[in-house]
Protein backbone atom coordinates (compact mmCIF):
# COMPACT_ATOMS: atom_id res chain seq x y z
CA UNK A 1 0.00 0.00 0.00
CA UNK A 2 2.86 2.36 0.86
CA UNK A 3 4.31 1.81 -2.61
CA UNK A 4 1.05 3.01 -4.11
CA UNK A 5 1.30 6.34 -2.38
CA UNK A 6 4.29 7.39 -4.45
CA UNK A 7 3.78 10.09 -7.04
CA UNK A 8 6.02 11.33 -9.84
CA UNK A 9 5.61 15.01 -10.60
CA UNK A 10 6.96 16.10 -14.00
CA UNK A 11 7.19 19.89 -13.97
CA UNK A 12 9.90 22.22 -15.23
CA UNK A 13 8.85 25.40 -13.40
CA UNK A 14 10.52 25.29 -9.92
CA UNK A 15 7.82 27.37 -8.16
CA UNK A 16 4.93 25.30 -9.48
CA UNK A 17 6.90 22.13 -8.71
CA UNK A 18 7.46 23.28 -5.10
CA UNK A 19 3.75 24.01 -4.62
CA UNK A 20 2.77 20.66 -6.13
CA UNK A 21 5.25 18.75 -3.97
CA UNK A 22 4.16 20.69 -0.91
CA UNK A 23 0.44 20.01 -1.25
CA UNK A 24 0.91 16.37 -2.29
CA UNK A 25 3.37 15.71 0.56
CA UNK A 26 1.03 17.23 3.13
CA UNK A 27 -1.68 14.87 1.87
CA UNK A 28 0.55 11.91 2.69
CA UNK A 29 2.09 11.16 -0.70
CA UNK A 30 5.77 10.52 -1.29
CA UNK A 31 6.70 12.76 -4.20
CA UNK A 32 9.54 12.48 -6.72
CA UNK A 33 10.24 15.35 -9.08
CA UNK A 34 11.40 15.19 -12.69
CA UNK A 35 12.23 18.59 -14.19
CA UNK A 36 12.36 17.44 -17.80
CA UNK A 37 10.86 14.89 -20.18
CA UNK A 38 14.05 12.81 -20.34
CA UNK A 39 14.33 12.69 -16.56
CA UNK A 40 10.65 11.71 -16.38
CA UNK A 41 11.31 8.74 -18.70
CA UNK A 42 14.20 7.47 -16.55
CA UNK A 43 12.40 7.93 -13.22
CA UNK A 44 9.04 6.71 -14.52
CA UNK A 45 10.50 3.37 -15.57
CA UNK A 46 12.62 2.96 -12.42
CA UNK A 47 10.00 3.76 -9.76
CA UNK A 48 6.64 2.14 -8.96
CA UNK A 49 4.29 5.11 -8.92
CA UNK A 50 0.60 5.28 -8.09
CA UNK A 51 0.07 8.35 -10.27
CA UNK A 52 2.26 10.45 -12.58
CA UNK A 53 1.44 14.13 -13.17
CA UNK A 54 2.96 15.66 -16.31
CA UNK A 55 3.01 19.28 -17.40
CA UNK A 56 1.86 19.58 -21.01
CA UNK A 57 4.61 22.04 -21.97
CA UNK A 58 8.03 20.67 -21.08
CA UNK A 59 11.24 22.21 -22.39
CA UNK A 60 12.48 19.06 -24.15
CA UNK A 61 9.63 16.62 -24.91
CA UNK A 62 5.88 17.28 -25.20
CA UNK A 63 3.99 16.01 -22.11
CA UNK A 64 1.74 13.76 -24.18
CA UNK A 65 4.78 12.21 -25.89
CA UNK A 66 6.37 11.54 -22.49
CA UNK A 67 3.19 9.73 -21.50
CA UNK A 68 3.15 7.67 -24.73
CA UNK A 69 6.80 6.75 -24.27
CA UNK A 70 6.18 5.67 -20.65
CA UNK A 71 3.31 3.45 -21.83
CA UNK A 72 5.57 1.93 -24.48
CA UNK A 73 8.12 1.24 -21.76
CA UNK A 74 5.49 -0.71 -19.83
CA UNK A 75 4.60 1.91 -17.21
CA UNK A 76 0.91 1.43 -16.34
CA UNK A 77 0.48 4.15 -13.69
CA UNK A 78 -2.38 6.52 -14.55
CA UNK A 79 -1.27 9.93 -15.82
CA UNK A 80 -2.66 13.37 -15.02
CA UNK A 81 -1.71 15.88 -17.72
CA UNK A 82 -1.64 19.50 -16.52
CA UNK A 83 -2.35 21.82 -19.41
CA UNK A 84 -3.14 25.45 -20.13
CA UNK A 85 -6.60 25.84 -21.67
CA UNK A 86 -5.11 26.98 -24.97
CA UNK A 87 -3.20 23.70 -25.23
CA UNK A 88 -6.21 21.48 -24.61
CA UNK A 89 -6.57 19.72 -27.94
CA UNK A 90 -8.22 16.48 -28.93
CA UNK A 91 -5.27 14.42 -27.71
CA UNK A 92 -5.64 15.91 -24.23
CA UNK A 93 -9.45 15.63 -24.25
CA UNK A 94 -9.04 11.99 -25.28
CA UNK A 95 -7.26 11.20 -22.00
CA UNK A 96 -10.50 11.02 -20.04
CA UNK A 97 -11.80 8.32 -22.34
CA UNK A 98 -8.93 6.08 -21.19
CA UNK A 99 -7.74 5.58 -17.63
CA UNK A 100 -6.04 8.97 -17.49
CA UNK A 101 -7.11 12.52 -16.81
CA UNK A 102 -6.20 16.16 -17.44
CA UNK A 103 -6.42 19.34 -15.45
CA UNK A 104 -6.59 22.87 -16.81
CA UNK A 105 -4.34 25.61 -15.42
CA UNK A 106 -4.91 27.52 -13.21
CA UNK A 107 -6.34 24.90 -10.86
CA UNK A 108 -6.94 24.73 -7.14
CA UNK A 109 -4.76 22.28 -5.26
CA UNK A 110 -7.82 20.66 -3.71
CA UNK A 111 -9.00 19.87 -7.23
CA UNK A 112 -5.57 18.46 -8.07
CA UNK A 113 -5.60 16.28 -4.94
CA UNK A 114 -9.13 15.08 -5.71
CA UNK A 115 -8.11 14.06 -9.22
CA UNK A 116 -4.86 12.41 -8.13
CA UNK A 117 -6.80 10.54 -5.43
CA UNK A 118 -9.39 9.35 -7.95
CA UNK A 119 -6.69 8.23 -10.40
CA UNK A 120 -4.76 6.43 -7.66
CA UNK A 121 -7.87 4.55 -6.56
CA UNK A 122 -8.59 3.47 -10.08
CA UNK A 123 -5.44 1.38 -10.10
CA UNK A 124 -6.58 -0.53 -7.04
CA UNK A 125 -8.96 -3.44 -7.36
CA UNK A 126 -12.62 -2.50 -7.53
CA UNK A 127 -14.75 -4.47 -5.08
CA UNK A 128 -17.60 -6.26 -6.76
CA UNK A 129 -20.43 -5.55 -4.35
CA UNK A 130 -24.06 -4.95 -5.17
CA UNK A 131 -24.90 -2.97 -2.04
CA UNK A 132 -22.65 -0.17 -0.78
CA UNK A 133 -22.85 1.20 2.77
CA UNK A 134 -21.73 4.52 4.23
CA UNK A 135 -22.87 5.04 7.81
CA UNK A 136 -26.60 4.33 7.82
CA UNK A 137 -26.89 4.92 4.06
CA UNK A 138 -27.25 1.92 1.83
CA UNK A 139 -27.38 2.05 -1.94
CA UNK A 140 -28.39 -0.95 -4.03
CA UNK A 141 -26.52 -0.92 -7.34
CA UNK A 142 -28.81 -3.54 -8.88
CA UNK A 143 -32.24 -2.11 -8.05
CA UNK A 144 -30.82 1.45 -8.24
CA UNK A 145 -32.39 2.44 -4.90
CA UNK A 146 -31.07 4.17 -1.80
CA UNK A 147 -32.21 4.13 1.82
CA UNK A 148 -31.20 5.47 5.22
CA UNK A 149 -31.96 3.44 8.30
CA UNK A 150 -34.15 1.31 6.07
CA UNK A 151 -36.20 4.31 4.94
CA UNK A 152 -36.40 4.54 1.14
CA UNK A 153 -35.08 7.72 -0.52
CA UNK A 154 -36.87 8.76 -3.75
CA UNK A 155 -34.26 9.69 -6.36
CA UNK A 156 -34.30 10.43 -10.08
CA UNK A 157 -31.94 8.16 -12.07
CA UNK A 158 -29.38 10.95 -12.48
CA UNK A 159 -29.60 11.77 -8.79
CA UNK A 160 -28.90 8.13 -8.00
CA UNK A 161 -25.89 8.20 -10.33
CA UNK A 162 -24.59 11.24 -8.50
CA UNK A 163 -25.07 9.64 -5.11
CA UNK A 164 -23.42 6.44 -6.34
CA UNK A 165 -20.38 8.38 -7.53
CA UNK A 166 -20.12 10.15 -4.16
CA UNK A 167 -20.47 6.85 -2.31
CA UNK A 168 -17.83 5.15 -4.47
CA UNK A 169 -15.50 8.03 -3.59
CA UNK A 170 -16.40 7.93 0.08
CA UNK A 171 -14.16 10.12 2.21
CA UNK A 172 -12.57 11.77 -0.83
CA UNK A 173 -13.13 15.20 -2.27
CA UNK A 174 -15.08 15.20 -5.51
CA UNK A 175 -14.90 18.42 -7.51
CA UNK A 176 -17.80 19.92 -9.48
CA UNK A 177 -15.94 19.28 -12.73
CA UNK A 178 -15.46 15.62 -11.73
CA UNK A 179 -19.19 15.29 -11.04
CA UNK A 180 -20.06 16.88 -14.38
CA UNK A 181 -17.60 14.54 -16.04
CA UNK A 182 -18.65 11.26 -14.40
CA UNK A 183 -22.37 11.83 -13.91
CA UNK A 184 -23.19 13.84 -17.06
CA UNK A 185 -20.18 12.90 -19.25
CA UNK A 186 -19.51 16.60 -19.87
CA UNK A 187 -15.97 17.86 -20.07
CA UNK A 188 -15.95 21.50 -19.15
CA UNK A 189 -15.92 23.47 -15.96
CA UNK A 190 -19.39 24.82 -15.29
CA UNK A 191 -19.44 28.60 -15.13
CA UNK A 192 -22.61 28.72 -13.04
CA UNK A 193 -23.52 27.29 -9.66
CA UNK A 194 -25.77 24.74 -11.33
CA UNK A 195 -23.99 21.69 -9.88
CA UNK A 196 -24.35 23.14 -6.39
CA UNK A 197 -28.08 23.54 -6.87
CA UNK A 198 -28.36 19.98 -8.16
CA UNK A 199 -26.29 18.50 -5.33
CA UNK A 200 -28.31 20.66 -2.93
CA UNK A 201 -31.49 18.86 -3.94
CA UNK A 202 -29.86 15.43 -3.60
CA UNK A 203 -28.54 16.48 -0.22
CA UNK A 204 -32.00 17.53 0.96
CA UNK A 205 -33.33 14.13 -0.04
CA UNK A 206 -30.45 12.25 1.59
CA UNK A 207 -29.63 14.31 4.69
CA UNK A 208 -32.87 16.09 5.76
CA UNK A 209 -34.23 14.89 9.11
CA UNK A 210 -31.44 12.39 9.63
CA UNK A 211 -29.19 11.78 12.63
CA UNK A 212 -26.15 13.25 10.88
CA UNK A 213 -25.29 14.73 7.45
CA UNK A 214 -23.39 12.59 4.92
CA UNK A 215 -22.79 15.04 2.05
CA UNK A 216 -20.35 17.82 3.00
CA UNK A 217 -19.48 20.90 0.98
CA UNK A 218 -15.78 21.53 0.37
CA UNK A 219 -15.61 25.26 -0.06
CA UNK A 220 -14.64 26.43 -3.52
CA UNK A 221 -14.10 22.91 -4.88
CA UNK A 222 -16.90 20.44 -4.47
CA UNK A 223 -18.21 17.78 -2.15
CA UNK A 224 -17.26 14.91 0.07
CA UNK A 225 -19.47 12.08 1.27
CA UNK A 226 -18.45 10.60 4.60
CA UNK A 227 -19.93 9.17 7.75
CA UNK A 228 -19.09 10.86 11.07
CA UNK A 229 -16.27 9.52 13.20
Partner 1 sequence: MSGTVSVLLAKTLTSSTFKLALIAIGTFGVIVSVIFSYVYLSTSAYVRGRSDRAIMLEYSSLQGAYERSGREGLLALTQQRMADSSFSGDMYVLADPSLAVLGGNLKVWPPTVTETSGWTEFRAAHRLLNETNRPLIRAMVGTFPSGDRLLVGRDISDLDSFTDLIKAAVISGVALIFVLAGVASILVTRRTVGRIESINATSRAIMLSGLDKRIPLRGSNDEWDRVAENLNLMLDRIETLMGEIKQVSDNVAHDLRTPLTRMRGRLEKAYHGQRVAKDDQWLIGETIGDLDAVLRMFLSITRIAQIESQARKDGFRNVDLVDIASEVVELYDAAAEQDGTRLTVIADREVLATGDRDLIFDAIANLVDNAIKHGRAEGQVVVAAENVDGKPVVSIADDGPGIPTEEYEHVFKRFYRLEHSRYTPGNGLGLSLVAAVARLHGVKIDLLDNSPGLKVKLWFSAIVR
Which of 194, 211, 212, 216 binds partner 1 (CB under 8 A)? It is 194
Q: Which residues contact 61 (CB under 8 A, 6 or more apart)?
A: 36, 37, 38, 41, 69
CA distances (Å), origin 62, targets 34, 53, 141, 146, 151: 14, 13, 41, 46, 53
CB of 22 to partner 1, least distance (A): 17
* CA–CA gap between residue 203 and residue 207 (Å, rounded): 5
User: Is 211 a binder of partner 1 (CB under 8 A)?
Assistant: no
Minimum CB distance to partner 1 smaller for 8 or for 64: 64
User: Is 93 a binder of partner 1 (CB under 8 A)?
Assistant: yes
The stretch near partner 1 (CB under 8 A) out of 62-70, 73-81, 95-103, 186-194 is: 186-194
Which of 53, 198, 214, 215 binds partner 1 (CB under 8 A)? It is 198
- Starting at the edge strand found earlier in the chain, the sheet holding 101-105 runs 30-34, 6-10, 51-55, 79-84, 101-105
Q: Are 187 and 128 in contact (CB under 8 A)?
A: no
37-46 vs 63-72: helix crossing angle, rounded to 10: 30
The stretch near partner 1 (CB under 8 A) out of 41-49, 100-108, 121-129, 165-173 is: 100-108
Map residues 145-164 to x or -, x wherever contact with partner 1 holds by CB under 8 A: -----------x-x------
Map residues 105-124 to x or -, x wherever contact with partner 1 holds by CB under 8 A: -x-x----------------
User: Is 216 a binder of partner 1 (CB under 8 A)?
Assistant: no
Q: Which residues contact 97 (CB under 8 A, 6 or more apart)?
A: none
Minimum CB distance to partner 1 smaller for 149 or for 201: 201
Q: Are 77 and 50 in contact (CB under 8 A)?
A: yes
The stretch near partner 1 (CB under 8 A) out of 10-18, 126-134, 147-155, 181-189 is: 181-189
The stretch near partner 1 (CB under 8 A) out of 21-29, 115-123, 147-155, 197-205 is: 197-205
Helix-strand-coil split of the chain, %, nearest 5: 40, 25, 35
Which of 45, 76, 186, 211 binds partner 1 (CB under 8 A)? It is 186
Q: Are 163 and 139 in contact (CB under 8 A)?
A: yes
* CA–CA gap between residue 79 and residue 82 (Å, rounded): 10
Q: Where do the DSSP E strands lie in 21-71?
A: 30-34, 51-55
CB of 20 to partner 1, least distance (A): 18
Using CB under 8 A, list all residues that contact partner 1: 85-86, 88-90, 93, 104, 106, 108, 156, 158, 184, 186-192, 194, 197-198, 200-201, 219-220
Amino acid sequence: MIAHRRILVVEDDPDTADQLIDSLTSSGYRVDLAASGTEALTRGVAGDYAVITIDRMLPDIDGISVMRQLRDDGVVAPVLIISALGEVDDRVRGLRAGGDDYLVKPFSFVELLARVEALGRRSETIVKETILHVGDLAIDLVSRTASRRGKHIVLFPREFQLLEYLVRNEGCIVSRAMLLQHVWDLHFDPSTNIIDVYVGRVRRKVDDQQAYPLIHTVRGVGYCLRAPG
